[in-house]
Chains A and B, each alone.
Chain A
Amino acid sequence: MKTLRTSPLALTVIAAVIALVFSVIITSVVLSISGFNPPSVFQAMIDFGLEPDSVVNTLNRSSTYYLAAIAVAIGFRMNLFNIGVDGQYRLGAMLAAAVGGAFALPPVIHQVVIILVAMAVGGMWAGIAGLLKVTRGVSEVISTIMLNFIATGIVAFLLHEDRLATQVAGSNNIGTEPIASSGRVPGIPYPGAGLEIYGLVLLAVAVGVGFHVMINRTRFGFDLRATGLSSSAAVAGGVDARRMVVAAMLISGMAAGLIGMPQLLGSSYSYGLDFPGGLGFIGIGIALLGRNNPVGIAFAALLWAFLDQSSQILEFNEIPKEIVAITQAAVLLSVVVVYEIVRRLGLRWQQQAVAAELAAGSAKRSKEVAA
Chain B
Amino acid sequence: MRRGLKTTLVMLTGAALTLSAGACGGKKATTGGDSGEGAKKTVKVGLAYDIGGRGDKSFNDAAFAGLDRVKQNLNLEIKDIEATKNETDNDKIQRLDLLAKSGYNPVIAVGFAYAGALGKVAPKHPNTKFGIVDDGSVEGPNVTNLLFAEEQGSYLVGAAAAQKSESGKIGFIGGVDTPLIKKFEAGYVAGAKKAKPDIKIDVKYISRGTDFSGFTDPAKGKTIAQGQYDGGADVIYHAAGLSGLGLFQAAAAEKKFAIGVDSDQYQNAEADQKPYIITSMLKRVDTAVYNFVEDTNKGTVKAGPVIFDLKNQGIDYSKANTEAIAGLQAKMDEYKQEIIDGKITVPTK
Question: Would A and B touch once assembled, by the CB under 8 A criterion?
Answer: yes
Contact B208 A173 (CB under 8 A): no
Contact A171 B208 (CB under 8 A): no
Contact B209 A155 (CB under 8 A): yes
| Beta-carbon contacts under 8 Å, B102-150 to A | 102, 112-113, 115-116, 124, 134-137, 145
Contact A273 B113 (CB under 8 A): yes
Please tell me if B82 contacts chain A, counting CB pairs below 8 Å.
Answer: yes
In the bound complex, CA of A315 to CA of B208 (Å)? 31
Q: Mark A283-325, 1 if CB is under 8 A from B, else 0.
A: 0000000000000000000000000110110011000010000
Chain B residue contacts of A278, Cβ below 8 A: 85-86
Chain B residue contacts of A282, Cβ below 8 A: 86
Work out how many contacts link A and B, with CB atoms closer than 8 A: 113
Contact B88 A263 (CB under 8 A): yes
**Distance in Å: Cβ of A316 to nearest Cβ of chain B:** 7
* Interface residues on chain B, number (Cβ under 8 Å): 38
Chain A residue contacts of B212, Cβ below 8 A: 273
Chain A residue contacts of B88, Cβ below 8 A: 60-61, 263, 267-268, 276
| Beta-carbon contacts under 8 Å, A159-207 to B | 159-160, 167-174, 194-195
Of the candidate stretches A49-57, A135-143, A250-258, A333-341, the one touching chain B is: A49-57
Of the candidate stretches B91-99, B254-262, B289-297, B308-316, the one touching chain A is: B91-99
**Distance in Å: Cβ of A145 to nearest Cβ of chain B:** 14
| Nearest-CB residue, chain B, relative to A308 | B84
Chain A residue contacts of B210, Cβ below 8 A: 90, 152, 155-156, 159, 273, 275, 277
Chain A residue contacts of B97, Cβ below 8 A: 53, 194
In the bound complex, CA of A315 to CA of B53 (Å)? 12
Of the candidate stretches B158-166, B176-184, B190-198, the one touching chain A is: B176-184
**Distance in Å: Cβ of B105 to nearest Cβ of chain A:** 16
Chain A residue contacts of B93, Cβ below 8 A: 194-195
Interface centre among A53, A276, A278 (most CB of B within 10 A): A276
Interface centre among A56, A172, A275 (most CB of B within 10 A): A172
In the bound complex, CA of A2 to CA of B93 (Å)? 50
In the bound complex, CA of A168 to CA of B112 (Å)? 11
Contact B177 A156 (CB under 8 A): yes
Q: Mark B276-293, 1 if CB is under 8 A from A, else 0.
A: 000000000000000000
| Beta-carbon contacts under 8 Å, B75-91 to A | 79, 81-82, 84-91
Contact A316 B98 (CB under 8 A): yes
Contact A57 B91 (CB under 8 A): yes
Please tell me if B272 contacts chain A, counting CB pairs below 8 Å.
Answer: no
Please tell me if B338 contacts chain A, counting CB pairs below 8 Å.
Answer: no
| Nearest-CB residue, chain A, relative to B181 | A172
Contact of A171 among B84, B90, B94, B136 (CB under 8 A): B136
In the bound complex, CA of A173 to CA of B178 (Å)? 7
Please tell me if A274 contacts chain B, counting CB pairs below 8 Å.
Answer: yes
Contact of B94 among A153, A170, A276, A312 (CB under 8 A): A312
| Nearest-CB residue, chain B, relative to A318 | B79
**Distance in Å: Cβ of A125 to nearest Cβ of chain B:** 16
Please tell me if A245 contacts chain B, counting CB pairs below 8 Å.
Answer: no
Contact B134 A172 (CB under 8 A): yes
Please tell me if B211 contacts chain A, counting CB pairs below 8 Å.
Answer: yes
Interface centre among B81, B91, B94, B207 (most CB of A within 10 A): B94
Contact A316 B86 (CB under 8 A): no
Q: Mark B187-222, 1 if CB is under 8 A from A, else 0.
A: 000000000000000000001111110000000000
With A152-B211, A156-B210 as given contacts, are A174 and B84 in contact (CB-CB < 8 Å)?
A: no
Chain A residue contacts of B116, Cβ below 8 A: 268, 274
Interface centre among B88, B102, B179 (most CB of A within 10 A): B88
Chain B residue contacts of A279, Cβ below 8 A: 86
Q: Mark A17-48, 1 if CB is under 8 A from B, else 0.
A: 00000000000000000000000000000000
Please tell me if A157 contacts chain B, counting CB pairs below 8 Å.
Answer: yes
In the bound complex, CA of A60 to CA of B93 (Å)? 13
With A153-B208, A195-B94, A316-B81 as given contacts, are A173 and B86 in contact (CB-CB < 8 Å)?
A: no
| Nearest-CB residue, chain B, relative to A324 | B84
In the bound complex, CA of A194 to CA of B180 (Å)? 31
In the bound complex, CA of A168 to CA of B207 (Å)? 21
**Distance in Å: Cβ of B39 to nearest Cβ of chain A:** 21
**Distance in Å: Cβ of A219 to nearest Cβ of chain B:** 37
**Distance in Å: Cβ of B182 to nearest Cβ of chain A:** 9
- A sample of 19 more A-B contacts (CB under 8 A), given A156-B210, A263-B89, A268-B89, is A53-B97, A56-B90, A57-B90, A57-B91, A61-B88, A156-B177, A160-B177, A168-B137, A170-B305, A171-B137, A273-B210, A276-B86, A277-B211, A279-B86, A311-B84, A312-B95, A316-B81, A316-B102, A321-B82
Smallest CB-CB A-B distances: 6 pairs: A156-B209, A170-B136, A156-B208, A171-B137, A172-B112, A276-B86
28 inter-chain pairs at a CB distance below 8 angstroms, sorted by A residue, are A53-B94, A57-B90, A152-B208, A152-B211, A159-B210, A160-B177, A169-B136, A170-B136, A170-B145, A170-B305, A171-B115, A172-B112, A172-B178, A172-B180, A173-B113, A173-B137, A195-B90, A268-B88, A274-B89, A276-B86, A277-B210, A277-B211, A279-B86, A308-B84, A312-B91, A315-B82, A321-B82, A321-B84
